[in-house]
C-alpha cells in the first residue's frame, strides 16, 4: 500500500526550477505554496540538481532555467513543461513536441505586460534625458549641464518603432501615444484593424521601421527565425540619432554589432534589460559601451508582477494535474 500511495503522489509530482539569478530556492518555496494538495513540489535551482526528482516529475515549472532535450529524455513521467514567463526560448520545444509533452507559457494571463511596458519607457526616458550620466556627474560634484545639453531630447513627436505588436507591444504602443509619439510596428502578422485604430499604429516592413524610427523597441519572441534579428546589417539602417531598447530577449540583437555601433557613434544609445547569456559575463562589451542604460532583467519582476506570474503558472499546472487541458501551449 505504501508503494501505491507513493505512486499516487508521484502522479502529482511537480519540479519547480528557479535559478539563483531570478530568486533561487526561496522564491521557489514561495511558489510551491501556491499549488494545492495533493501536488508534491520539489524546488531546485537547476534541473540537474536533482535528477531523481526529474525522473518522477509529472510537470516541470521553469523560471528562465534551461530544459534541454537531455532533460526531457530523462523524464519518462513528464507530461507538462510550464514556463513562468511569456518567453519559452530556454526550453527545447522541438524535443518536447517529439515526446508529446506540451510546453506552456503564461501569455494569455497578461501578467508581465504592464511592467515590461513601464520598463521600456523607463529606459527610453533615461536615454532621452541622459539620467544615468547626469546622476553620476552630480554625485561626483560635476555640474554636467553644459556637456549633456546637446544630447537631451524629447519623446513627443518622435517615431516609436515596435518590433512585435503582441500584448506587451500593444501596451508599449498605448504609452507611446500618451507621449504624443508616432507609432509604427513590424511583425509576422498584422494586428486586427480595431487594434491598429485604437493604438494609432501603422504596420511597416522591418527595414523601413529601422530606417525611420527614433526609438526601436523589441517585443518579439526569441526563435531561430528572430535570433540576431537586429544583425550588423540591420543596425546599419538606423539613424545616428536613434535609440535601441530591448526588454524581450538579449539574443534578438547581435550584441557585438551593437557594441560596435555604440562605440562608433552609429547609434545614439541603447536601453537593455536583457542579455545573452544571463547574467552577462563581465567581458561583455555592452556593459562598458557609451550611452547605455542597463538593468538586470527586471521587466517582469516587480512585486505585483511576480504574484501574477506565479498565480498564472500555478493555475495552469494545477488545472492540468486535475485533468483540464493546458493553456498557452506553444508547441
Give CA–CA dist 210/160, Å, rounded.
10
Sheet strands side by side (includes 292-294) = 201-203, 182-186, 159-163, 215-218, 243-246, 269-272, 292-294
DSSP code per residue over 216-240: EEE-PPP-TTTTTSB-HHHHTTS-T
Q: With left for phi above 0 and alpha for psi between -120 and 50, is residue 23 left, alpha or beta?
A: left
SS3 state of residue 98:
helix
Decide: 124 and 245 in contact? Cβ < 8 Å: yes
User: What is the b/e burial string over 275-285, where b = at least 16 CB atoms within 10 angstroms of the residue's CB?
Assistant: bbeeebeeebe
Which entry of 278, 304, 308, 324 is annotated as an active-site residue?
A: 278
Is residue 278 part of the annotated active site? The answer reads: yes
Decide: 115 and 168 in contact? Cβ < 8 Å: no
SS3 state of residue 110:
coil
Grid cell of 7 as nine digits: 505512486
Residue 87, number of CB atoms within 10 A of its CB:
20
Is residue 249 part of the annotated active site? The answer reads: yes
Which entry of 12, 175, 219, 249 is annotated as an active-site residue?
A: 249
SS3 state of residue 37:
coil
Which entry of 175, 234, 297, 308 is annotated as an active-site residue?
A: 297
Is residue 21 part of the annotated active site? The answer reads: no
Give CA–CA dist 67/73, Å, rounded.
10
Catalytic machinery residues: 249, 278, 297
Amino acid at each position: 500500500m505504501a508503494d501505491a500511495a507513493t505512486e499516487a503522489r508521484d502522479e502529482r509530482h511537480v519540479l519547480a526550477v528557479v535559478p539563483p539569478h531570478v530568486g533561487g530556492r526561496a522564491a521557489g518555496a514561495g511558489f510551491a505554496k501556491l499549488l494545492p494538495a495533493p501536488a508534491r513540489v520539489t524546488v531546485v535551482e537547476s534541473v540537474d540538481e536533482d535528477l531523481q526528482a526529474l525522473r518522477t516529475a509529472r510537470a516541470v515549472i521553469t523560471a528562465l532555467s534551461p530544459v534541454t532535450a537531455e532533460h526531457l529524455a530523462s523524464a519518462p513521467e513528464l507530461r507538462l513543461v510550464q514556463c513562468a514567463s511569456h518567453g519559452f526560448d530556454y526550453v527545447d520545444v522541438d524535443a518536447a513536441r517529439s515526446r508529446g509533452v506540451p510546453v506552456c507559457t503564461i501569455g494569455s494571463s497578461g501578467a508581465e505586460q504592464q511592467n515590461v511596458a513601464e520598463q521600456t519607457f523607463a529606459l527610453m526616458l533615461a536615454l532621452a534625458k541622459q539620467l544615468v550620466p547626469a546622476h553620476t556627474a552630480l554625485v561626483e560634484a560635476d555640474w554636467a549641464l553644459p556637456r549633456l545639453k546637446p544630447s537631451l531630447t524629447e519623446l513627443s513627436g518622435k517615431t516609436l518603432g515596435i518590433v512585435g505588436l503582441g500584448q506587451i507591444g500593444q501596451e508599449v504602443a498605448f504609452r507611446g501615444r500618451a507621449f504624443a509619439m508616432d507609432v509604427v510596428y513590424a511583425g509576422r502578422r498584422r494586428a486586427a484593424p480595431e487594434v491598429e485604430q485604437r493604438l494609432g499604429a501603422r504596420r511597416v516592413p522591418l527595414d523601413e521601421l529601422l530606417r525611420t524610427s527614433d526609438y526601436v523597441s523589441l517585443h518579439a519572441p526569441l526563435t531561430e527565425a528572430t535570433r540576431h534579428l537586429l544583425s550588423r546589417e540591420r543596425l546599419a539602417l538606423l539613424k545616428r540619432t536613434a535609440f535601441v531598447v530591448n526588454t524581450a530577449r538579449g539574443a534578438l540583437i547581435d550584441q557585438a554589432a551593437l557594441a560596435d555601433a555604440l562605440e562608433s557613434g552609429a547609434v545614439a544609445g541603447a536601453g537593455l534589460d536583457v542579455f545573452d547569456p544571463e547574467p552577462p559575463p563581465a567581458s561583455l562589451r555592452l556593459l562598458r559601451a557609451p550611452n547605455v542604460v542597463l538593468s538586470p532583467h527586471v521587466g517582469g519582476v516587480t512585486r505585483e508582477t511576480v504574484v501574477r506570474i506565479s498565480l498564472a503558472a500555478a493555475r495552469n499546472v494545477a488545472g492540468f494535474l486535475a485533468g483540464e487541458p493546458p493553456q498557452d501551449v506553444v508547441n
